Amino acid sequence: MRMAQVVFEGVSKTFPRPSGEAVRAVKDLCLTIHDGEIVVLAGPSGCGKSTTLRLLAGLEDPTSGTIAIDGRVVNAIEPRDRDVAMVFQNCALYPHLTVYENLAFPLLLRKRPRDEIERRVRATATTLELTRLLERMPDALSGGERQRVAVGRAMVRQPKVFLYDEPLSNLDAGLRLRMRVELKRLHEQLGTTTLYVTHDQVEAIAMGRRLAVMKDGAIQQAAEPLDVYRRPANLFVAQFIGSPPMNLFPGAIEMGGSGVMFRPAPPPQGDTPAGAPLPVARAHRAALSAYAGRPVVLGLRPEEIVFDGGLARGPDGVRVNARAEAVERLGAETHLHGSIGGIRFTARSGADCPLGPGQTVSVWLDLDRACYFDGASGRAIG
């Protein structure tokens, strides 16, 4: 097993534009991918993910900063000498070569001895369950099989670092799910240091041990996926990670006789009165008391708004009236689209949710697990 640590230190990449105005695709990136770790880099289209990957592969030169693999700065090292292998969204196989020959190709290029090529191709085929396909031509393979050969072609070289650039984007939903599990299993087995780029937030949470969320060329948060989900660093991350996204209620903090309260802002249109003030749960009180009189945004994940038919709940939540507007039954779960004090939200509940549109219902808000954000900067509070 070959391992390597990757370190980006203050890396920026600026592309000149013919109009004169430059694009800062990557801004002052600092990121370490530890030996054997898989880090997922996620963010919307154009945020700089592919550029980051291409900088590590050596296909772009940084404008400033350093990139090191295994303690060696690689800025001036040619792509083919960096010992990284990349799998793209559209990995074209050589159409006139069999699967075996496609897998052997990178080793032939490196002039490896024939018996070593045979051994490594067979081992790769075993790992990826391609053995029975070795004599096939690429046009006789399914989409998933082709993508597995593309992964095999990267793997056969036994690189220090794997780079995946949206490798599953072109596959249908079922196959994407299967390949996701397969790539994860492969990583567990090989333990090769990996940077995995995706714009798909479900894949981002599922694939990585660590998730880095990027926006406008800058990393917004890098942490364990569930930490990012539960404690997003700012409003952008809160909305990008999670489907349906986190519900956001703008408002302000008030200090009164009943302690620290969140007063929801009135809805932007219509004549619906704003919802009643909500008590801030114990866990958040100290941090939010510094925000008295200032705008904040309350964030609740869809599963933290619970339609439970009035069952008793924990001490730090609160019960409010909501209007159910639409009900989407998705099989294992139901999404309820409704409003509280005129502000729209989506709640997630079980398969057998009895509600229908137009009903007024009592919902329980799990304020203990809520997130609060600074209304001016968008940063998480506390």
User: Strand 295-300 and strand 333-340: pairing?
Assistant: unpaired
Among positions 12, 36, 39, 49, the unique one binding ligand ATP when judged by CB under 6 A: 49
The nearer residue to ligand ATP, 118 or 200, going by C-beta atoms, is: 200
The reply to whether 48 sits near ligand ATP by the rule CB under 6 A is yes
The reply to whether 199 sits near ligand ATP by the rule CB under 6 A is yes
The nearer residue to ligand ATP, 25 or 300, going by C-beta atoms, is: 25
How many residues belong to the site for ligand ATP (CB under 6 A)? 12
Among positions 50, 147, 194, 234, the unique one binding ligand ATP when judged by CB under 6 A: 50
Say if CB 63 and CB 12 are below 8 A apart.
yes
For residues 153 to 192, the per-residue mask of contacts with ligand ATP, x marking binding by CB under 6 A and - elsewhere, is ----------------------------------------
Tokens of 89: 């969204």
User: Strand 72-73 and strand 64-69: pairing?
Assistant: antiparallel
For residues 28 to 47, the per-residue mask of contacts with ligand ATP, x marking binding by CB under 6 A and - elsewhere, is ---------------x-xxx
The DSSP annotation for 229-258 comes to HHS-SBHHHHHHSSSSPPEEEEEEEEEETT
Instruction: Give the number of other Cβ atoms within 10 Å of residue 367's Cβ.
Output: 22
The nearer residue to ligand ATP, 37 or 166, going by C-beta atoms, is: 166
The nearer residue to ligand ATP, 88 or 364, going by C-beta atoms, is: 88
Q: Please state, in angstroms and rounded to a whole number, the distance separating the CA atoms of residues 320 and 313.
A: 13
Query: According to the 3-state scheme, what is the secondary structure of 303-360?
Result: HHEECCCCCCCCCCCEEEEEEEEEEEECCCEEEEEEEECCEEEEEEEECCCCCCCCCE
Q: In what order do the strands lie in the sheet with 38-42?
A: 84-87, 161-165, 193-198, 38-42, 210-215, 218-223
CB of 36 to ligand ATP, least distance (A): 25
CB of 203 to ligand ATP, least distance (A): 12
**Residue 262 forms beta bridges with which residues?**
253, 278
CB of 84 to ligand ATP, least distance (A): 17
Which residues lie near ligand ATP (CB under 6 A)? 15, 23, 25, 43, 45-51, 199
